[in-house]
Structure 1
Amino acid sequence: MRDEASVDRGAYPDVVTPWDDPDWRRDALAWAERGLAVRGWTGVRRVAVRVRPWSVLVRMSVVGGPDVWFKANPPGSAFEAGLTEALARWVPGHVLEPLAVDTERGWSLLPDGGTLFRDAPGAGVGAWEQALQQYATVQRALCSRVEEIDRLGVPDARTTVLPEVFDRVVEENAALDADTRAALRALRPRVVGWCEELAALGIPDSLDHADLHDGQLFAPEPGRFTFFDWGDAAVSHPFCSLFVPLNSAVERYGQQALPRLRDAYLDAWTGMGVTPAELRRAAVLARHLGAIGRACSWARLFPTALRGLTDVAGAGGAQSLRELLSDPARNEAPGAGR
């Protein structure tokens, strides 16, 4: 494989990842090259390398073929390779179909998905409505696959166990000051109550992407989207997925965008014997509890990177946990009572 690529380390120039190990690098690239050769693609050339504490990405071009991506996950999110492969079978057309996976090592070989949503023309509130509708349809289809998703090693953050997940991240996060940790511990009865209320509303647990922002989906054509990057995922209440996109929407479009985006997402969950008011209440609670999933994902780094980023990872998780101390009512979109 010809190497013509520089290494993009972003804001983490000194962090050590497996890419820095020549033996690992040789094995990984040889595996990718074999996967391409099976498809008759040769003349592989590295175009770009992107190294982060949570992944290694290598973009490669091949003679007579499209660009492809090699991705390596750390142990905490190694499940992504198998999950991506399974999702391509379960919800084809909605996710990237991998060219090859190594589930033991957390390696994936992926096609180029086209234009990122954030770079697509007209990627405004209306397009986000369509994306959230499609994503919710995918989640509803996956409700019956929860046990299979569990067996792939995807973390369990179901409504019934979420209080225990909350306990763990609160106690393990070294970046929390004493007052914040005490406030979170005191919040536990409310967390339990929110989870019990969610469970009583009857929406089943599903797959939560847990980081669904505008750089985590492709827009290959108007009105159609391809979801990818499942390394932060968990089995949880599906509405927990609203934490990232709705919080981002407030920053970008203002609070007035929330009714449209929330209702577009909830539309896929009608017809389950749950009233519109109950769906909106579930969205408020689950969006609030989605902060727990974000706090968990900060620990899914390469072990060598984690040793050098303990403060950064802890601070990221702590920031998410502090979101729980606010009143969930602030997540109530304008017009929620209609």
Structure 2
Amino acid sequence: MGRPFSERVAHDDWRHTAEQWVRRELANRDIEVVGTIEQPRIRPWSTQLKVPTATGTVWFKANCAHLSFEPLLQAELARLAPDAVEAPCAVDAERGWMLTRDRGTTLGDAVEPTVDDWCRILAGAAALQRIVAGHEVTMLATGLPDCRPSTVVARYDRLLEILSALPEAHPGHVSDDLRSQLVAVCGRVADAAAELDESSLPTTWQHGDLHPWNVFAADGRLFDFGDGQWAHAAEILSVPHAWITRQDTISWPTVLEACADAWDVTPADLASQQRAAAVTQPVNRTLLWWGCLQEATAAEWTQWGDALLQHLTRVLEP
């Protein structure tokens, strides 16, 4: 794959090319850049440029190859549900680049989210999932990874093969003992995938990392779609469930009931699907991390590589 992503995007030549594209795309929309373009963050999987303009801040985002589908995905989500997702100002699909307008503070930065906030977030996400569910062809055409339940068992087997073959010192290495434990629950993974394949909720887009810092406070619109997958709808609940159950202030059953109402199913039905999705989602999440780190430096693998086993071993939880 060549030079690591974070090294490429930190180089002056890359910055010059990216800023030229930004200025050209904004000029084509009669938007003037009025100050210094800053690069506030670089990660192994993405970077952002903060662009001051005469009409407010615009954000440029560049993704690694595995997440390069995000600009087209966001554009398609915005086309299907313009009230829920902001359309990018400009997209370069080949390079995985896009420009979006600043929509202000995130919900997580604005307040300590309440149970009502979480109910609105998940009910809104469910409404978006229902809209998108009937658009499989256009969703997958953006490059969104296909992680539907019927693909999970083969993915699990392949990840075990890949991670077991890594050097012992690698942070993602699956030892012989851990491999035995993971092989022993293959039936659990297969049963969960089969249950979801026959469930009342569909396969659709799922955000992948839905939390209050990926929701705008002003209007509740979602953003940061690079972790998205085409998967069972209930997999979107895994991240919120982890956030909420780490606190004592939010009632998860109340939030689940709001989400069930948005899907027109019973809370018991949705809870059953959530339990099955809690087995398939770790497999799909591990795929995400594996892809994100393919362009990482050795130091970044050391920092982030343990995420592979942190997620995959969640299939062992009761």
TM-score w.r.t. the length of structure 2 is 0.90
Letter in 2 for 1:181: R
Q: Contact between 1:136 and 1:265, CA under 8 Å: does it hold in 2?
A: yes
Match of 2:192 in 1: 194
* Aligned alpha-carbon RMSD (Å): 2.0
The separation in 2 between residues aligned to 1:304 and 1:292, in whole angstroms, is: 20
Match of 1:7 in 2: none
Unaligned runs of 5+ in 1: 1-13, 328-338
CA apart distance, 1:215 = 1.3
Aligned length: 306
Question: Is 1:317 aligned to residue 308 of structure 2?
Answer: yes
- Counterpart of 2:205 (choices 204, 207, 215) is 207
Match of 1:53 in 2: 44
1:55-134 paired onto structure 2 within 5 Å: 55-62=46-53, 64-121=54-111, 123-134=113-124
Match of 2:268 in 1: 277
The separation in 2 between residues aligned to 1:276 and 1:302, in whole angstroms, is: 37
Q: Contact between 1:306 and 1:313, CA under 8 Å: does it hold in 2?
A: no
Report the identity percentage: 32
Q: Contact between 1:241 and 1:287, CA under 8 Å: does it hold in 2?
A: no
Question: Is 1:242 aligned to residue 237 of structure 2?
Answer: yes
- Counterpart of 2:283 (choices 292, 301, 320) is 292
- Shift in alpha-carbon separation, 1:301–1:308, aligned structure 2, 3 A: farther
The separation in 2 between residues aligned to 1:113 and 1:302, in whole angstroms, is: 29
CA apart distance, 1:228 = 0.8
Q: Classify the secondary structure of the residue corresponding to 1:247.
A: helix
The separation in 2 between residues aligned to 1:156 and 1:43, in whole angstroms, is: 38
Question: Is 1:260 aligned to residue 258 of structure 2?
Answer: no
The separation in 2 between residues aligned to 1:197 and 1:304, in whole angstroms, is: 35
Q: Deviations over 1:243-270 (max 9, x none)?
A: 111111111336x621011111121111
CA apart distance, 1:48 = 4.5
- Deviating above 4 A after TM superposition, structure 1's stretches of 4 or more consecutive aligned residues are none
Unaligned runs of 5+ in 2: 167-171
Greater Cα offset, 261-270 or 108-117? 261-270
Letter in 2 for 1:43: V
Match of 1:218 in 2: 216
Q: Contact between 2:214 and 2:222, CA under 8 Å: does it hold in 1?
A: yes
CA apart distance, 1:130 = 0.9
Q: Deviations over 1:210-232 (max 9, x none)?
A: 11122111121xxx411111111
1:121-160 paired onto structure 2 within 5 Å: 121=111, 123-160=113-150
Letter in 2 for 1:39: R
The separation in 1 between residues aligned to 2:279 and 2:209, in whole angstroms, is: 14
CA apart distance, 1:309 = 2.7
The separation in 2 between residues aligned to 1:22 and 1:47, in whole angstroms, is: 13
CA apart distance, 1:302 = 6.3
Q: Contact between 2:149 and 2:280, CA under 8 Å: does it hold in 1?
A: no
- Shift in alpha-carbon separation, 1:245–1:191, aligned structure 2, 3 A: same
The separation in 2 between residues aligned to 1:235 and 1:15, in whole angstroms, is: 25
Q: Classify the secondary structure of the residue corresponding to 1:101.
A: strand
Question: Is 1:17 aligned to residue 11 of structure 2?
Answer: no
Q: Contact between 2:23 and 2:33, CA under 8 Å: does it hold in 1?
A: no
The separation in 2 between residues aligned to 1:101 and 1:22, in whole angstroms, is: 22
Q: Deviations over 1:268-297 (max 9, x none)?
A: 111xxx554322211221133222222122
Q: Classify the secondary structure of the residue corresponding to 2:56.
A: coil
TM-score w.r.t. the length of structure 1 is 0.85
1:35-54 paired onto structure 2 within 5 Å: 35-44=25-34, 45-54=36-45
